[in-house]
Every structure is written in C-alpha cells, then in structure tokens.
A and B are shown apart, each in its own frame.
Chain A
C-alpha cells in the first residue's frame, strides 16, 4: 500500500508538469482583463 500511495502521488506530480493548459483558458483571461 505504501508503494501504491507513493506512485499515486508521483503520477499527479508528473501530470501537473505535462498537462497543457488549453488555449481557451488564456483567451478567457485576456477577455477578463479587457473587461476589467
């Protein structure tokens, strides 16, 4: 169980590094900035 827990946390950390932020999110941020 200890190994599974360690691997699970490791997979999350790797995911945060490799997952892309979709362009739409950036577009939204630009729109919000314009609106402000």
Chain B
C-alpha cells in the first residue's frame, strides 16, 4: 500500500494540534479555580499528557484498536508495546498513512479524555488518587469504548453508530464519568470564584485551535472531507458561543464573557461526532442546540447540589449527547458518501442507532466509574484531608504556589 505524503503530513500536524488541547484544557480549567489550586489543576492536564502517552503505547492502543477478541467489546494484546504497529498503512483504519501515525493521532484523544474529567473533582482530590483514577479509567473505560465505536469488530462500529471524532468515545464517556465522580467524592468545603478569566479565555481559544486537528484530522486524509469538517467545526463553535452568550444575557441580564468561552467549548463538543457527516446548516443547528442545552444543564448544578466543579457534565456529557443525537438527525451522504443519512434526510433508523450508542456509553461509563472511584476511595481515599483542602492543593499536594505577588 502506498503512503500519501500529504495525508501523512496532515495527520501528524493534527496529532500535534490535538496534543496542544490538553495543556489548553489545563488553562481553561486553571482560570476557573481559586488561586490556591491553579498549579494542581494545570498538573491534572499536564500529568495525564505524560501518563497516558506511556499507557497508550504499552497497552492502551492494543486494547482499543487491535483485532477484536470476538466479543465486540475489547481488542486483544497483540499490539502491546506497539508490536506489529509499524510504518506500513493499516487499511482497516487509514490506508494512506503509516500505522504509527494513526496510533499517534489516536493517542492524543486518549490523553485528553481523562483530563476532561478532572474538572469535576478539582480543588479536593489527592494527587495519588487522581493518578490511580486516571490510569484505571483510561484502561477500563476509554479503551473499551474506543474499541466499541472505532475498533475493527467493535459492536457499535458493527451496528453502524456514527461518531466521527469522539462524541460518545470522548465527551459522553468523560462527561458522565465526571458526574458520577463528583457525586461520590462529594462537595468542596468551600467553592471558589474563577481566579483568572483571561486564562480561561486563552484556554478556550487554544482548545478551539487544537480542535481543528481533532475533527478535521479525523478525516485521516487531507481532502474534501477534512475541509468540510474544518468548516462545520468552526461554524458550530461560533454559533454555540453566540447562543450561550445570548441565553445568559436573557437569563442574567448581561452578556457573560466566561459564558461565551464555555459556549464555544460546548459547540466544539457537540459538533465533534457530527463533523464528518453534516453540512453547514446542520452545524448551525447543532451549535444553537449546544449553546442552549448546555447552558440549561449548567443551571441544574446548584439545584442538584452536585459539586461538578467546572461543569464537565453539563458541557461534555450533555453537549456530547446532543451532538451524537444530532448526528442521527442531520447526517447526510452528500457530505460523506461512506456514512449514512439521518432522520432529516429520510433515514430514521440512524437516529435509533445513535440513541443506542449514547445509552450504552452512559451506562457503561457511569457503572465503571462508580466501581473505580469506590475502590480507590476504600483503599487510599479519594479526597485530601480537610486542612489540606483549606490550604489549597498547590501547597498541600505539590509544595508550590502559582503566584509570588509580594
């Protein structure tokens, strides 16, 4: 099989763009926490970049993408430590790029997904518990769900579920897990106000930039489909940011700047599963829905008394769910002839398939996360002690502080 240099260059650049998203997430989250917990929040993203980079090449990629074990649930161990993952293309995944380039691109998805969850338990979880949780979650939740949806022989892949860049695999899995983790770990002793909105805006901007690699890179080739994914990603994101700002203006009387940033992220999340299947009008409706639904979901937090500190469930869980369902509504073969039409284009069965994929991901992610958090809590404990939480995690967990202002 012949390697295409243009496709390979695009995929490697896309992998680098997606890599940037994880530290960008750290900045997005870091601005939203109190100033005693900035470094720990940044570390939650940066450390995972390191941790999962190693986990992925050792066993994560094999569990997610190596040939199915026969159940449709998990890949085998044949590709452990990248044995057999070389420089020839693997036509099952990407026929024109080296297999290792595809692996590296997927690695960055595996990296950011557990990092998304950390926003829910910010400012109160011990570093040791976070490390164990992230490693266990990546292995027991992310790798299987990635196999279900994207792996050869995965059961949702076989069923025909459409998820171009990770609405179910990345966003529903992390968003639902975030909610479960927040419930089990409990509320912070004292909630914080965002200590640096500028940091959050910077993080959101870098996330938007990196997301072009996430979605347009998922075309796995430099061509028309990547271009379409790029355009609808930008359009849905802009529409969601505008919608969130407007809804918050109607609700609270002022156009919220942080709301606009959160709306942009909600739009990025929602367009992710649909980005290779919908046209521009579909992307505008997806952005409109994301800005509205995620804002409403965020208003539920104080009523539910669940301390999902940085609203991971509202943005990623609900945004991902809307995006996956909307894919079943707005997908069209005019954009991607290798996929399927959605309800609005005469194929209602695709909507049912999307609902099954969403439901399965919600149930499995919630159940597995419950077990992981409970086991860690019963052994080494998830939370820091009260005086450590009061002191802040930067000082109590890392012995450093973010700002020397004197």
The interface of chain A, by Cβ under 8 A from chain B, is: 1-2, 4-5, 8-9, 12, 15-16, 19-22, 24-25
B249 touches A1 (CB 8 A): no
Q: How many residues of B contact A (CB 8 A)?
A: 18
On whether A8 and B249 interact (CB within 8 A), knowing A1-B344, A22-B254, the answer reads no
CB of A12 within 8 A of CB of B281, answer no
Query: Is the beta-carbon distance between A15 and B250 smaller than 8 angstroms?
Result: yes
Contact of B338 with A by CB under 8 A: no
Chain A residues with Cβ below 8 Å from B239 are 8-9
User: Complex Cα distance A32/B30, Å?
Assistant: 24
| Distance (whole angstroms) from the CB of B266 to the closest CB of chain A | 15
Contact of A25 with B254 at beta-carbon distance under 8 Å, contacts A9-B239, A12-B246 already known: yes
Which residues of chain B have C-beta atoms less than 8 A from A22's C-beta?
253-254
A12 to B243, CA, bound (A): 7
Q: Which residue of A lies closest to B283 (CB)?
A: A5
Pairwise interchain contact A1-B254, C-beta atoms closer than 8 A: no
Chain A residues closer than 8 Å to B280, beta-carbon distance: 5
Asked if B288 is at the interface (CB within 8 A of a chain A CB), the reply is yes
A12 contacts across to B, CB distance below 8 A = 242-243, 246
CB–CB A21/B254 < 8 A: yes
- The contact of A15 among B249, B285, B344, by CB within 8 Å, is B249
**Beta-carbon contact of B253 and A25 below 8 Å:** yes
Q: Mark B180-199, 1 if CB is under 8 A from A, else 0.
A: 00000000000000000000
C-alpha gap A4/B284 in the complex (Å): 9
B109 within 8 Å of A by Cβ?
no
Residue B282 CB within 8 A of the other chain: yes
In the complex, whether B330 has a CB less than 8 A from a CB of chain A is yes
- Report the Cα distance A16→B279, complex, angstroms: 26
The chain B residue with its CB closest to the CB of A23 is B253
Going nearest first, the 9 A-B pairs with the smallest beta carbon separation are: A22-B253, A5-B284, A5-B281, A1-B281, A25-B254, A2-B281, A8-B288, A15-B246, A19-B249
Select one of A8, A16, A24 contacting B285, CB under 8 A.
A8
A4, B250: Cβ atoms under 8 Å?
no
Q: 14 additional contacts, CB 8 Å, given A12-B246, A15-B250? A: A1-B281, A1-B330, A4-B281, A4-B285, A8-B239, A8-B284, A9-B239, A9-B284, A15-B249, A16-B246, A19-B249, A20-B253, A21-B253, A21-B255
A1 to B334, CA, bound (A): 14
Collect the chain B residues with CB atoms within 8 Å of residue A16's CB. Answer: 246, 249
Question: A19–B239 Cα gap in the complex (Å)?
Answer: 18
Most chain B beta-carbon contacts within 10 A, residue among A8, A9, A16, A22: A8
Q: Which residues from chain A contact B279 at a C-beta distance below 8 Å?
A: 1
Smallest Cβ-Cβ distance to A2: which chain B residue: B281
- Partner among B242, B250, B284, B288 whose Cβ is within 8 Å of the Cβ of A19: B250
Please name all residues of chain A whose beta carbon is closer than 8 Å to the beta carbon of B285 when the two chains form the complex: 1, 4-5, 8
A36–B280 Cα distance when bound, in Å, is 45
Output the nearest chain B residue to A1 by Cβ-Cβ distance.
Answer: B281
- Nearest A residue to B344 by beta-carbon distance? A1
- Residues 149-193 of chain B: 1 if any A CB is under 8 Å from the residue's CB, otherwise 0? 000000000000000000000000000000000000000000000
Q: Give residues of chain B (211-270) contacting chain A, Cβ–Cβ below 8 Å.
A: 239, 242-243, 246, 249-250, 253-255
User: A15–B242 Cα gap in the complex (Å)?
Assistant: 11
Taking the nearest CB of chain A, how far is it from the CB of B57, in angstroms? 43
- Which of A2, A12, A20 has most chain B Cβ within 10 Å? A12
**Minimum CB distance partner of B249 in chain A:** A19
A1 to B329, CA, bound (A): 11
Q: How far is the CB of B233 from chain A (nearest CB, A)?
A: 16
